[in-house]
Amino acid sequence: MEQTDLRTPARPAVRPVTPRQRAARAARNGGEPTLEFTDRVPYDAYVQASTLHRLQRPLSSDPGEMSFLMVSQIMELYFGLICHELRETQRLLRADRVWDALAPLRRAALHLEGLNAAWKGLRWMTPADFNRFRNLLGEGSGFQSAMYRHLEFLLGLRDEALIRPFRRQAEVHAELRAALQTPSVWDDVLALLARHGHDLPAELLDRDVTVEHEPHAAAEAVWVRIYADAGPENHLRLLGEALTEVAEQFGDWRHQHLKAVQRTMGAKVGSGGSAGLAWLQRSMARVVFPELWSARTAM
């Protein structure tokens, strides 16, 4: 018997049309939108909007909770989208298609801008506003976002202990473990640089990728040399700048997260059991693509 993927519910197919068919429909409609369909509205069949708008289930009657819930869901979607772009970047880097890899990297940076903008939807929230429904969240915390953990792993921020909360969710845990055991974007960048003739030691190229990358002087020196060539054909320099933009935007998200926590709960203990603000401050010390930043001192 054929197996079906229960995670992907059956839905009506979106029927493709040609430019000629579109023009004919517009002529029949006299330039007005189509108002009659034989089945589900095609937009909903594609976007699944009716499903998305049924996924909000607030735990309180407080009207502000909907903002908190929906902004959290929007951020989850952005986490997944940015992970998608970074995996595409990895695929292209592994094929030595440096120029092509710039496009998904730049898209990832733009998606991070959108992710950062989502914080604005919570700037109204004071401690009193949050306290009206915070207790109902129990131990629920953004720290427990599996997709955010995927994003951190892709960016090279790795800590095996952080997949432990998902042990009772076998599929999620397996996916996170696989991500932890797969090279990060930075690992793939360093491998690419070595293939392009840059001298990087084996200890850096053959390291245990489940462990967080430690900054290395040899990698820093390579980036200093790459940036010395400002010519338009130096695609590695363009790669460095695209990676820098991703790292900077991600750093901005972490900073805005810290400020949002500070605004809504000060230095209170976090919902997930952490020290809250203090824990976030410590986590921000972990730098994404570190040699790209330290190399600037020597440029």
Contact between residue 53 and residue 64 where contact means Cβ atoms under 8 Å apart: no
Distance CA 123, CA 68 (A): 10
Q: Would you list which residues are annotated within the binding site for heme?
A: 257
Task: Of 3-17, 163-177, 188-202, 216-230, give the lowest mean pLDDT range.
Answer: 3-17
pLDDT of 11 reads 55
Beta carbons within 10 angstroms of residue 95's beta carbon:
11
**Dihedral angle at the C-alpha atoms of 206, 207, 209, 212, nearest 10 degrees?**
-150
- Mean per-residue pLDDT, 251-270: 87
Confidence of residue 60 (pLDDT cuts 50, 70, 90): very high
Please give the domain boundaries of the chain with CATH numbers for all domains: 65-297 (1.20.58.480)
The pLDDT value given to residue 280: 75
**Structure tokens given for 191:** 């491998």
User: Phi and psi at residue 223, in whole multiples of 5°?
Assistant: -70, -35
The number of residues making up the chain comes to 299
Name the band, by pLDDT with cuts 50, 70 and 90, for residue 4: very low
Cβ 53 vs Cβ 90: under 8 Å: no
Query: How does DSSP assign 32-79, residue by residue?
Result: SPP---SSS-HHHHHH-HHHHTT----SSS-TTHHHHHHHHHHHHHHH
180 has pLDDT over 90: yes
Question: Which pLDDT score, from 0 to 100, does residue 14 have?
Answer: 84
Average pLDDT, the chain: 91
**Hey, what are 134's tokens?**
């915070």
pLDDT-based confidence at residue 9 (cuts at 50, 70, 90):
low
According to DSSP H, which parts of the chain are helical? 19-29, 42-47, 49-52, 65-94, 98-117, 127-131, 146-154, 170-180, 185-195, 202-205, 217-228, 235-265, 277-283, 290-294
DSSP code at position 208:
-
Residue whose entry in the numeric block shows the structure tokens 């053959």:
206
Q: Identity (one letter) of the amino acid at 34?
A: T
pLDDT(23) > 50: yes
pLDDT tens-digit readout, 82-119 = 999 999 999 999 999 999 999 999 999 999 999 999 99
pLDDT at 102: 98
Predicted confidence at residue 67, as pLDDT, reads: 96
- Annotated binding-site residue numbers for substrate: 134
Report the binding-site residues: 134, 257
Cα gap 153→51, rounded to integer Å: 29
